[in-house]
Amino acid sequence: MSVTEWTREYHLTPHGWEVGTRTAYTKIKGRAVPRPPDAMETWEEHGYQRTVFSQETRRQSLVWHHPDVSPTDRAALRKHYPPPWEQSS
């Protein structure tokens, strides 16, 4: 069994990023957060640590995008509002 396994959703809106649902070992932490109606993209960040001696690995993946918004417009919005995982170190 891993020491740590979690996911966190992030929704990109015209006003910036909003944190969505969080899970630990696939169980929702807190409450489920619905996607905002003005969301352009939803990303999931996944963290995993196999043992107390190993480093935590993180990866991010796009899990949804608004079909009516062009990839160019979504990229411009991400450039204006850098993803949360690029802001924390």
pLDDT of residue 88: 58
Task: Tell me the average pLDDT across 2-14.
Answer: 93
Name the pLDDT band for 89 (thresholds 50, 70, 90): very low
Q: Between residues 50 and 74, which one has the greater pLDDT?
A: 74
CB atoms within 10 A of CB 32: 10
pTM here is: 0.88
CB atoms within 10 A of CB 2: 13
Using alpha carbons, list the distances in angstroms from residue 22 to 12, 17, 50, 77.
Answer: 16, 15, 19, 23
pLDDT of residue 56: 87
- Residue 61: alpha-carbon gap to chain centroid: 7
- Summarised one tens digit per residue, pLDDT across range 13-68 is 999 999 999 999 989 999 999 999 999 999 999 999 988 888 889 999 999 999 99
What is the C-alpha separation between 13 and 3, in angstroms, rounded? Answer: 33
Nearest to 10 by CA among 71, 65, 75: 65
CB atoms within 10 A of CB 65: 16
